[in-house]
Amino acid sequence: MPSPRIAIAQSPTEMESLALLWEHLLKQQSHTVFQKFSWNRLAAQMFGDRMRPYVVSVEADSGAAIIPAAINHHATGQVEFLGENLFDYRDILHAGDVEVLALAWQQLARCEQSIYVAGIEQAAVSVRWMNIPLSEFAPAPVVDRSLIDENAFRLAHSRLGRQMRRLEHKGVHFRRSSGNESASIRRLYQAKREHFGAADDNVFYDQQRCEFMIALAALEGSGCEFFSLADDAGTLIAGLLTFRDELFRRFYTIYFHPQWARYSPGVALLYEVTAMSLREGLTCDYMTGEYPYKMRLANSSRPLFKLALNAQELRDVAERSKWPKAA
């Protein structure tokens, strides 16, 4: 392979030089919103005190590859991907000759650190992770629009339809807004932080993560939608933050007010937004984890995978004999 161009971006500023290549590679194969340059650049900026960017780029006449890696300061230098704990789906970017991707992995292995990457979609495994040993991580439940329409969905979950009407009779109003309404998004994450405290599964007890999501929602603008249930006094009864991703609506954060738990406002809101999404021709992605409230509505799920290797194992994978060695 003649003279590949190799670069390692170790700051948000250095990442800017990769923006054009990054966007070009995104167009070559199917990816999720979590691979967008703007999302990764924002994560590198806002979580730089926790995870130092170590984005490997290899470009040659025969192809190009980007591994959006970062070094976790709080895990003894472990290599992860950008996005801290907030990106559900992880992936590398690649087009062209597989040798280019191999060179990128060899560069990353030179960190001499373990690596952990979780949330790799099955669709990406055979395309971009073909030489990497992966194991099962968790399923991602979905309501597939090709398997059910709005009317059939509402009929199948008529009890939740009645629950929505009960909430309406109690003065609870449904509202749809965009990510540009930062005050509403802040209200969602502050409520989730305050009402659910430091519970094991409440990643948003961390204020820095809340601030990131507020910034990300504003960055996406109309591509981010916030659905809410609130009473006449303005109390947030339930909230759901989503992202539009081509023919998917990604259901990212859901919240309900504990004092209204008997009315299941969170599940009722999930039901209503799912029905609306089906009417709009969208598949509803409930994201990582088969929680009961998700499985109650989902009609299928997608398997996700993870990569967990120590430093020696990563070197062994990167240096497989059928791949060329980095210069």
- Domain membership of residue 238 (yes or no) is yes
Whether residue 242 is found in the same domain as residue 176 = yes
Would you say residue 174 lies in a domain? Answer: yes
Q: Give yes or no: residues 164 and 134 share one domain.
A: no
Structural domain boundaries enclosing 166: 145-298
Provide the whole-model pTM: 0.94
pLDDT tens digits for range 281-307: 999 999 999 999 999 999 999 999 999
Residue at 172 is within a domain: yes
8 Å CB contact between 55 and 66: yes
Interhelix angle 98-109/311-318, nearest 10 degrees: 150
Q: Which comes out higher in pLDDT, residue 29 or 196? A: 29
- The candidate with the shortest Cα–Cα distance to 206, out of 185, 192, 220, 188, is 192
Cross-strand pairs, 142: 285, 300
* CATH number where 238 lies: 3.40.630.30
Residue 254 phi/psi, 5° resolution? -125, 145
What CA–CA distance (Å, rounded) separates 246 from 55? 26
On the question of pLDDT at 325 being above 60, the answer is: no
CA distance 92 to 83: 13
Residue 139 to residue 262: CA distance in whole angstroms: 28
325 within a domain of the structure (yes/no): no
Question: Total domain count for the chain?
Answer: 2
Q: For residue range 234-280, what is the model confidence (pLDDT) as tens digits?
A: 999 999 999 999 999 999 999 999 999 999 999 999 999 999 999 99
Q: Residue 90: exposed, middle, or buried by beta-carbon count in 10 A (0-12, 13-18, 19+)?
A: buried
Distance CA 77, CA 83 (A): 16
Please answer whether residues 236 and 230 qualify as being in contact, where contact means their C-beta atoms are separated by less than 8 angstroms.
Answer: yes
